[in-house]
Structures are given as structure tokens and as C-alpha cells.
């Protein structure tokens, strides 16, 4: 099976190599847990390390906000990659100009068709859901959308905002069932700041490490670490 490396320190080891090509993976977590940074890093590494083109769809931010976020975390060639077309950004202005999702989907399909992209990030599914009046309509379009991504050969991260740190037994949402994999991002407050964790809870067709691993967000992006002796300890060696 062909794997797509995220290039995120530690994460590919947890995934035993990477994400299966053409998979759509849900990235969920509460606000500020690092979901958008993971998405930016995935696309940035794609270009910088793997010669893969990416497309970033944001319903929440402008192209400029996204660039500033990328540059502030240390992805200093972001703007250059956008300029020369290795990364395409569809921001909220472009995505929300149609009232009906069908129109936006047509625009997107045209771009994907001509674009030869390998990686896609949708930030976020939660906003995407607001296009639809009913759960049924949302489900139909989500299925269709995920199918389209696969048809175009894209390996995708779909960001979902969560109100709870962990999904409750009854509350595992629709999105969890429609996607091939699930990455949860967590944070717990400490006296010094926050401890951050990453948990890959599901990856269809792949053997993965299902422990919860500590991670950090620093200049240069996200790094995931081997589980330290205590659950709450950050540190240890990066998984290689
Ligand atoms: N240079 C940096 N060094 C360390 N931490 C940083 C840096 N830049 C951002 N962060 C941390 O990353 C967090 C934001 O991450 P991100 O925007 O990816 O979260 P998110 O999960 O997308 O949140 P939301 O759901 O609100 O969109 C900030 O709260 C901040 O703590
Ligand atoms: Mg975000």
C-alpha cells in the first residue's frame, strides 16, 4: 500500500509510515489544539520534502491570515509556494461566494481537475456543514465530497472542531464514519501552560499505534514524542 508521509516529526512513526494514499482523515480537537497548524505543516512538508502539491480550503480565514499563521510558525517559504502554484489556497472569500454548496463544489472540481494536486486540507468541516439545512443533506454532500477527493487521487486532512476533548460513546459523529482515519488533538492546562497530545484512534487498512502521544507546537511546527513515563510528561525523544 502506498503511504503519504506527513513529514511531521513523530507522526509518521505512529502511523507506521504515513497515511494511505487517497485516504480522507479527520483531524479533530478543541479550539487551539493545533489542527490548523497540522494542516499547514502537512501541505508545507508535501512541497518541501516530497515534491507534492497541495490545496488548502479554509472556510474560516483569509488567504492572508493563513499565510501569516504559516510564516509565524516558521514555514517561511509558504508565500513562495503559493505564488508558484505548489500550494493553492481557497479562502473563505472564494468558498463562501456561492450560497449553494453545489456552486462551490463546481468551482472546486474545476480547480482539482486542472491542478494535479496530491494533498488537500479542509479547514473546517464544521463550517462546511453550515451550507446545509438538514443532517441528511449534509451527509449526502459529505459522502459525495469525500468520493470526489479520492477520485482526484488526493490524500486529505479534514479538520473538525470539537466541543469535548474526547468523543463520548453516544456522540461519535457522522464524520467519524465517513472518513478513513481519525486523529484527535488534545490539550490539558498546566501551571506552565498546556500539555499537548495527539491520538490516532483509527486508520482503516493500516496498523497504527493507538496510544496517546505527547506533542509540542514550537517554531517549526508540531513534533510528536514517544510516550514518556507518565502520561502528563512532555519530553522524551522524538520518535524516529
Ligand atoms: N510559534 C509558536 N510556538 C508555540 N506555539 C504556537 C506557535 N504558534 C501557535 N502556537 C500555538 O498553536 C495554537 C493554535 O493552533 P491552531 O491554530 O492550529 O489551533 P486550531 O486547533 O486550529 O484552533 P481553532 O479550532 O481555534 O481553529 C495556539 O493556541 C498557540 O498556543
Ligand atoms: Mg484552526
Residue 181 belongs to domain with CATH number: 3.40.50.300
Cα-to-centroid distance, 90 and ligand 1 (Å):
20
Evaluate whether residue 171 is within a structural domain: yes
Cβ burial of 5 (10 Å; 0-12, 13-18, 19+) is middle
Residue 112: predicted pLDDT: 93
Q: Is the CB of 31 under 6 A from ligand 1?
A: yes
> Is 80 part of any domain?
yes
Of 44, 21, 1, nearest to 181 by C-alpha is 21
Q: Report which ligand 1 atom has the smallest distance to the Cα of 38.
A: 18
Please report whether residue 215 resides in a domain: yes
- Residue whose C-alpha cell is 487498512: 205
Structural domain total, the chain: 1
234 within a domain of the structure (yes/no): no
DSSP character for 9? B
Angle at 219 between CA 214 and CA 221, to 5 degrees: 55
What pLDDT, on the 0 to 100 scale, is given for residue 162? 85
- pLDDT tens per residue, range 83-127: 999 999 999 888 888 877 778 888 888 999 988 999 999 999 888
Question: Ligand 1: which of 217, 219, 220, 222 to mutate, judged by most atoms within 8 Å of the beta carbon?
Answer: 217
The answer to whether residue 238 is domain-embedded is: no
- pTM, 2 dp: 0.92
162-217: pLDDT as tens digits: 877 666 555 557 677 788 999 999 999 999 899 999 999 999 999 999 999 999 99
Decide: helix, strand or coil at residue 114: helix
Amino acid at each position: 500500500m502506498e503511504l503519504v508521509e506527513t513529514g511531521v516529526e513523530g507522526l509518521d512513526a505512529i502511523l507506521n509510515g504515513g497515511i494511505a494514499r487517497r485516504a480522507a482523515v479527520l483531524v479533530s480537537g478543541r479550539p487551539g489544539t493545533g489542527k490548523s497548524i497540522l494542516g499547514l505543516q502537512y501541505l508545507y512538508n508535501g512541497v518541501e520534502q516530497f515534491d507534492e502539491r497541495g490545496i488548502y480550503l479554509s472556510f474560516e480565514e483569509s488567504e492572508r491570515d493563513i499565510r501569516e499563521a504559516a510564516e509565524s510558525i516558521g514555514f517561511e517559504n509558504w508565500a513562495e509556494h503559493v505564488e508558484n502554484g505548489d500550494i493553492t489556497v481557497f479562502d473563505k472569500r472564494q468558498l463562501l461566494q456561492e450560497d449553494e454548496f453545489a456552486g462551490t463544489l463546481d468551482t472546486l472540481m474545476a480547480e482539482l481537475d486542472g491542478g494535479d494536486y496530491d494533498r488537500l486540507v479542509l479547514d473546517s468541516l464544521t463550517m462546511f456543514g453550515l451550507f446545509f439545512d438538514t443532517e441528511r443533506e449534509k451527509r449526502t454532500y459529505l459522502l459525495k465530497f469525500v468520493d470526489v477527493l479520492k477520485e482526484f487521487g488526493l490524500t486529505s486532512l479534514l479538520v473538525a472542531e470539537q466541543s469535548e476533548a474526547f468523543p463520548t460513546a453516544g456522540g461519535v459523529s457522522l464524520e467519524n464514519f465517513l472518513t478513513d482515519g481519525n486523529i484527535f488533538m488534545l490539550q490539558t492546562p498546566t501551571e506552565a501552560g498546556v500539555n499537548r497530545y495527539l491520538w490516532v484512534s483509527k486508520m482503516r487498512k493500516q496498523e497504527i499505534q493507538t496510544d496517546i502521544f505527547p506533542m509540542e507546537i514550537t517554531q517549526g511546527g508540531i513534533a510528536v514524542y514517544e510516550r514518556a513515563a507518565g502520561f502528563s510528561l512532555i519530553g522524551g525523544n522524538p520518535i524516529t
